[in-house]
Amino acid sequence: MSEVAVRTLLRDLAATRGIALELVAGAAGVDRRITNPHPQKTGLALSGFDQYLREGRVLVLGESEIRFLESLESAQRVEVVRRVFAHDIPCLVVTAGFDPPPELAPEADRVNLPLLRSRAATPLVMARLSTALDVYLAASAVVHGVLMDILGLGVLIVGESGIGKSECALDLVVRGHRLVADDAVELRARAESFLIGTCPELTRHHMEIRGLGLINVQDLFGVASTRRSKRVELVVQLERWDLTREYDRLGLDEAHYETLGVRVPMIRMPVAPGRNLAILVEVAARNQLLRNGGLNSARRLADRLDAELGRAREHADIDFGEEI
């Protein structure tokens, strides 16, 4: 199961300024693990209906929860808090700048439960937490290939080792496109509907070219030649030309690359001497951009041919009677 420590969440949210979280109590528990990207509010849990509190989810206390706790006597508050803290909750966040009830911090320290506070409104806190946690907890995989940003389209180039993926990517960089990752591409499924590709920190901006060795693309071509991440919207699979195989010549066949439960349009591109792969991949990206906009050139031409053939058949069926 994917998980992230509360400590990591605090550190990265502070670094990105996504949201300001203050650690009020329970510092000894910052290594607790969050396993669910969706924060939860207590709802009726404070009034005793707590069986629906889910383990591994950040618990958020907004104005209604704080006001309810303030309406209780001290002994009742302790009883309620202990009942809630008996669940496996990774951390507790008090929103809207409210001061936690006085019994909350000691109880958090007692069970080593991180108690956090934010001045932001509850909806904003839950949205920012959910966005950050979705990145950490998304299903992930590492793919051998090259990820490029071509005209704003994320293109993942895959194929067997030595087929020319990195050389093709270098040619694309020279043509003004941007490198995201070479050799190892980290993929994460977001919202179970699309893939985000990044590069491992250790190899970021680097590319391996046989005969040249390792090069730093950003140092050679400038900061505009790379980017940190990109959504994968097209996969180009390079294959050695097989004379016994029939390849799509019209562009009507629709293939897909599937990983992490997400399907991405894919093109199988045969590799042979004399074929300029960089230009072909760039044209494939341009064509995919047109398709994304609803313009399928191959389908449109096929429809026109079908219409012409239909008209030809209609004229062929006309009976003009006997010849004079």
The number of domains in the chain is 2
Residue 315 located in a structural domain = no
CA 227 to CA 157: how far, in whole Å?
A: 16
- The string of DSSP letters for 147-176 reads EEEETTEEEEEEESTTSSHHHHHHHHHHTT
* Sign of the alpha-carbon dihedral angle for 168, 174, 176, 181: positive
pLDDT tens for 291-308 read 888 888 777 887 888 888
Element containing residue 105 per DSSP (H, E): helix 104-111
pTM over 0.75: no
Average pLDDT on 208-215 reads 89
Same domain, 151 and 295: yes
93 and 154 in a single domain? The answer is no
Q: Are residues 54 and 77 in the same domain?
A: yes
Instruction: Output the pLDDT for position 83.
Output: 87
Give me the catalytic one of 67, 82, 110, 144: 144
Q: Which of 165, 188, 206, 227 is catalytic?
A: 165
Catalytic residue at 249?
yes
Decide if 183 is catalytic.
yes
Residue 175 falls inside a structural domain: yes
pLDDT the model gives residue 48: 67
In a domain, 73, yes or no: yes
> Which whole number is the average pLDDT over 172-189?
94
Which one of 78, 106, 136 terminates a domain?
A: 136
* Same-domain check for residues 152 and 264: yes
C-alpha 152/C-alpha 95 separation (Å) is 38
Average pLDDT in the chain: 87
Q: Give bridge partners of residue 257 from the DSSP assignment.
A: 264
pLDDT of residue 132: 87
Q: What is the mean pLDDT of residues 217-229?
A: 94
Question: Which is more confidently placed, 49 or 72?
Answer: 72
| Active-site residue, selected from the candidate residues 183, 188, 206, 230 | 183
Q: Which domain holds residue 267?
A: 138-300
Cα–Cα distance for residue pair 139/147, rounded to 1 Å: 18
Question: What pLDDT is attached to residue 173?
Answer: 96
Note whether 194 and 293 are same-domain residues: yes
Tell whether 267 and 143 lie within a shared domain.
Answer: yes
pLDDT at 172 (0 to 100): 96
Tens-digit pLDDT profile for residues 107-131: 999 999 999 999 999 999 999 998 8
The CATH number that applies at residue 65 is 3.40.1390.20
324, part of any domain = no
Q: Which of 249, 315, 317, 319 is catalytic?
A: 249
**What average pLDDT does the segment 204-208 reach?**
92
CATH number of the domain residue 265 falls in: 3.40.50.300
pLDDT at 227 (0 to 100): 95
Mean pLDDT of 185-193: 84
